[in-house]
Structure 1
Amino acid sequence: MLRHWHDAVPNDRLAHLVKDATRSLVRALQMRLAEHEVSFGHWTFLRILWETDGLTQRELSAQAGVMEPTTFTAVKAMETLGYVERQQMPDNKKNVHVFLTPAGRALRKKLVPLAEEVNEISVAGLSERDILTARKVLLAVIENLAEDESGSTNPLRRVPSTREIGRLIAERGEATDDA
């Protein structure tokens, strides 16, 4: 970031700093993935499948932390690109499993070094101790917020589905049309 950023917002909230750091990391990786005609969204799914090939689309959605329609669209596109193939298993025709093709598996050797490069660049000039501290802090933040979410008894404190949001928007639109 530019020095101006440090001066303009010297006491910025941790959430903003993490968001900006994430945006910078994602952008740096996106630029490198684009050289290989792979989108960041596909990268997310490929990483998961490199570790656990043959997941159902629902399992893939859950691990990626995205809604199932998003996964469906991405998997269809990756299938068109020849990175994955979708299959129903003989014992369960309901679930669609996603498997890497040889081309999808081969991307790992090309793309993982790009992510490693971005990580190396991002910690340039930091001591090993600083890196370990940053990891410790970020993992604690993630754990604290996950605990807060799982421990919440407020039924309104959750992430609504896209369908629910659409319904709420439609209801509000109808209410304002009547006025």
Structure 2
Amino acid sequence: MTTPEGARPHGSEALRLNRQVCFAMYSASRAATAAYRPMLEELGLTYPQYLAMLVLWEAEPRSVRELGEELGLDSGTLSPLLKRLEALGLVRRRRSAEDERRVEIFLTDAGSALSAKASGIPQRLADAAGLTPAELDQLRETLGRLASALQASH
């Protein structure tokens, strides 16, 4: 049973798994993470580590708090991730001279150099997705609006 274009499904049709936005996002997220995995293995990074490095490649130093806010991670999740990146020689943590409560994260030379190796990853993922740059931009914008609206609703 299908619904006409633009019509809202009723009753049990609305509860079908294939009609759920949450399931489509969950499936897409799992598929994207799986697609990233072999690319990130080449860099020696996990997906969360890659996200942290992306933030640091944009601008550094960043405080642990700023990094957590940018990534939506709490310090309990972020601290072990940063320790691992530090053990890999990609970042270093240092207490701020102005405020000793503030821990700043800096890229090492190896961490900075890794950005060149990572530069092709977005295009490789786009190629794997089979979407045009315009379609990817539209998808990212739509997901950003969705995330903002849902965060504001609670």
| Deviation sequence 1:96-151 (CA, Å, 0-9, x none) | 100000100111111131232112321x1x466655554453333223212212xx
Taking the TM superposition and a 5 Å limit, the aligned residue runs for 1:78-117 are: 78-117=85-124
Q: Provide the TM-score with structure 2 as the length reference.
A: 0.79
Match of 1:47 in 2: 54
Matched-pair identity in % = 24
| SS of equivalent residue, structure 1 residue 82 | coil
Query: Structure 2, unaligned stretches of length 5 or more?
Result: 1-15
Q: Provide the TM-score with structure 1 as the length reference.
A: 0.69
Change in CA separation of 1:45 and 1:16 when aligned onto 2, cut-off 3 Å: same
- 1:145 is aligned to 2:150: yes
The offset of 1:43, in angstroms, is: 0.4
Look at both structures and tell me which one has the larger radius of gyration over its CA atoms: 1
Distance in structure 1 (CA, Å) of the matches to 2:52 and 2:75: 12
- 1:35 is aligned to 2:57: no
- Contact 1:33–1:39 at 8 Å: present in 2 too? yes
Query: Structure 1, unaligned stretches of length 5 or more?
Result: 1-8, 150-179
The offset of 1:22, in angstroms, is: 1.1
The offset of 1:93, in angstroms, is: 1.6
Change in CA separation of 1:28 and 1:77 when aligned onto 2, cut-off 3 Å: same
Q: Which amino acid aligns with 1:141?
A: L
| SS of equivalent residue, structure 2 residue 101 | strand
- Contact 2:17–2:23 at 8 Å: present in 1 too? no
Alpha-carbon RMSD across the aligned residues, in angstroms, is 2.1
- Contact 1:57–1:96 at 8 Å: present in 2 too? yes
Change in CA separation of 1:46 and 1:133 when aligned onto 2, cut-off 3 Å: closer
Q: Number of aligned pairs?
A: 139
Match of 2:77 in 1: 70
The offset of 1:82, in angstroms, is: 0.5
Distance in structure 1 (CA, Å) of the matches to 2:140 and 2:26: 15
| SS of equivalent residue, structure 2 residue 19 | coil
- Contact 1:29–1:115 at 8 Å: present in 2 too? no
